[in-house]
Amino acid sequence: MPSAPEKTWTAQVVSAGRTYPTDTAPVVNPARTGEIVGTYALAGPRIVAEVVRNAQDAAVTWGSLTGAQRGRLLHTAADALERDLATRAELLTREQGKVLWESRLDLGGGPRLLRYYADIAPAVDEETVVRDERGTTVIRRLPMGPTVVIVPWNYPVYLCMMVLAPALAAGNPVIVKPSEFAPLALTETLAMLASALPDGVVNVVPGLGGEAGAALVSHPGVRKVLFTGGTESGRAVLRGAAQNITSVSLELGGNDPAIVLDSAVLDDRLIREIRRSVYTCTGQVCFNIKRLYVQRGVYDEFVDKFRQAVDEIVVGDGLDPASTTGPLNNKKQFDSVTALLDSTRKDGAQVDVLGRALDGTDWDNGYFMLPSVVTGIPHDSDLVSREQFGPTVPVVPFDDVEDAVRMANDTEFGLAASVWSEDPEHALTVGRRIAAGSVFVNSHRVGSSDMTMPFGGMKQSGLGRNHGMWAIDECSELQALSHRPDTSAFPGPATW
């Protein structure tokens, strides 16, 4: 069994090297709810105001560096983040619940993302010059200013760095509000990053969403909000930011469909890929597969093989290498998935509970749940139409591809989707008809989307796009600087 933690961690306010006393709240280990892993600061509007001022001061110098200069500083900061990765990965598993390899992946993404954006930072200064008979126009990017990054608990470090790194490369100081359910490893990482960069460039304000988060998004000194989280919270962020017409990008929830066509070969690789795409992080990933539509010709074979594969899952403490998946992250999430499965059973669907508990797991004192596969479920039931964010998936048969496309699109979400077939051309044709920001053929998981593809959601799954220069543009102002001495071609009478 994993040993007890050696120290208690604290996620404090990080800003300009000063200390900010606050009340604190506990962070509980979801695999052993009697264990307090650490505490986080409960920052409120007064601290938010001080931190925004620090970021405003830092914006002047950080924003006036060239992209190349910022890139060099970000490379050095990335080196600093390589230290103590193993300790922070263990901490992340203790507070988040997921298995250790996923925590390493989550944290390891930090330095990788910083280096990627450090390399492209010089391109931020590239200007487009338009010369014609009327004169010259220069189009250039400018930093927006203090930028708030609000983070969820499922992949806290990676999802933070995915938006923080381009914001820094574009010349903006950042203020991060970690999730109250996984603030420790992220704050530890950001404190290291803050020390490696000039004062006030990286700041952390832990606290509750409705207090610290709400105060940040409605502060007049904040010019950009990069929010990742649930759709309801996204709506509240938009309302808060509306007060000062603050620019907002949103990465929100998803209810990703996967369509398995008759032409798919249901070999071990495909079944394992889909299993992984559903149950990674105990089903708590925004673009995990949340609904499976399987064409009638392969439906029975698929359900049979998929159940067998899911039955291999071992649920236990994420620190134990014998666990395939850990517990759900928090009580609210556990209760929500439990209620959804109860109502699914009441509606007459078949819920096959599979897998096994790891020997020695303290099952009743953790948010553990065995994986399940649900069949005999209509397309309009809650488990199909809602984002379950847990270790279960409905498998719905279809006869005609038209029906599959209609059901896949019958949702307010539009984050990602996938089509599975041995005929990629046909799969791509089907994929073109799905309203989602990313559509994959024969894969659908962390890694399926990389920096060469814009990442983000359609409909209520978000606003804006991440990755590569799309992410830089998301947190830059575009300025047109024009000198056109000959105004005779402009509209309006020449005599005026």
DSSP string for 301-361: HHHHHHHHHHTT-EE--TTSTT-SB---SSHHHHHHHHHHHHHHHHTT-EEEE-SEEPTT-
Q: Is 387 in the site for ligand NAD (CB under 6 A)?
A: yes
CB of 209 to ligand NAD, least distance (A): 2
Cβ atoms 166, 117 nearer than 8 A = yes
Cβ atoms 368, 234 nearer than 8 A = no
119, two tokens: 């390399």
The 40-79 contact track toward ligand NAD, x by CB under 6 A, reads ----------------------------------------
Q: Is 390 in the site for ligand NAD (CB under 6 A)?
A: no
Q: Indicate if the alpha-carbon torsion angle 96, 102, 108, 114 is positive or negative.
A: negative
All residues at 6 or more sequence positions from 391 whose CB lies less than 8 Å from its CB, including other chains = 278, 279, 282, 283, 313, 315, 325, 328, 337, 369, 370, 371, 372
Cβ atoms 14, 203 nearer than 8 A = yes
Rounded to 5 degrees, φ, ψ at 483 are -125, 100
Closest by CA position to 289, among listed 323, 255, 316: 255
Q: Which is nearer to ligand NAD, 110 or 457 (CB)?
A: 457
Within positions 326 to 355, which residues make up the interface with ligand NAD, using CB under 6 A?
Answer: none
26, 210, 378, 424: residue in contact with ligand NAD (rule CB under 6 A): 210
DSSP string for 95-150: HH---HHHHHHHHHHHHHHHHHHHHHGGGGG--EEEEETTEEEEEEEEE--SEEEE
Rounded to whole angstroms, the Cα distance separating 90 from 3 reads: 11
CB of 52 to ligand NAD, least distance (A): 14
Q: Which is nearer to ligand NAD, 111 or 183 (CB)?
A: 183
Q: Rounded to the nearest 5 degrees, what angle is found at the Cα of 133, between the Cα atoms of 131 and 136?
A: 30
CB of 274 to ligand NAD, least distance (A): 19
Within positions 167 to 206, which residues make up the interface with ligand NAD, using CB under 6 A?
Answer: 177, 179-180
Contact segment (CB under 6 A) with ligand NAD among 85-93, 230-238, 468-476, 487-495 equals 230-238
The site that binds ligand NAD (CB under 6 A) totals a number of residues, namely 31
Q: Which is nearer to ligand NAD, 110 or 397 (CB)?
A: 110
462, 465, 467, 471: residue in contact with ligand NAD (rule CB under 6 A): 462
Q: Is 277 in the site for ligand NAD (CB under 6 A)?
A: no
Q: Which is nearer to ligand NAD, 153 or 302 (CB)?
A: 153
186, 252, 436, 475: residue in contact with ligand NAD (rule CB under 6 A): 252
Q: Which is nearer to ligand NAD, 41 or 261 (CB)?
A: 41
Which H or E run includes 242? helix 231-242
Q: Which is nearer to ligand NAD, 174 or 270 (CB)?
A: 174
14, 78, 237, 393: residue in contact with ligand NAD (rule CB under 6 A): 237
11, 28, 214, 441: residue in contact with ligand NAD (rule CB under 6 A): 214
Rounded to 5 degrees, φ, ψ at 122 are -60, -30
Cβ atoms 461, 153 nearer than 8 A = no
The 128-167 contact track toward ligand NAD, x by CB under 6 A, reads ----------------------xxxxx----x--------
65, 236, 238, 354: residue in contact with ligand NAD (rule CB under 6 A): 236
65, two tokens: 């560096």
Closest by CA position to 149, among listed 100, 213, 84, 87: 213
Cβ atoms 162, 466 nearer than 8 A = yes
Torsion of CA 395, 396, 402, 405, to 10 degrees: -50
Within positions 477 to 496, which residues make up the interface with ligand NAD, using CB under 6 A?
Answer: none
Q: Which is nearer to ligand NAD, 179 or 203 (CB)?
A: 179
Cβ atoms 315, 324 nearer than 8 A = yes
Q: Which is nearer to ligand NAD, 11 or 319 (CB)?
A: 11
Rounded to whole angstroms, the Cα distance separating 357 from 287 reads: 26
30, 143, 173, 254: residue in contact with ligand NAD (rule CB under 6 A): 254
171, 173, 229, 283: residue in contact with ligand NAD (rule CB under 6 A): 229
Within positions 393 to 452, which residues make up the interface with ligand NAD, using CB under 6 A?
Answer: 415
Residues making contact with ligand NAD (CB under 6 A)? 150-154, 159, 177, 179-180, 209-210, 213-214, 217, 228-230, 233, 236-237, 240, 251-254, 286, 387, 389, 415, 457, 462
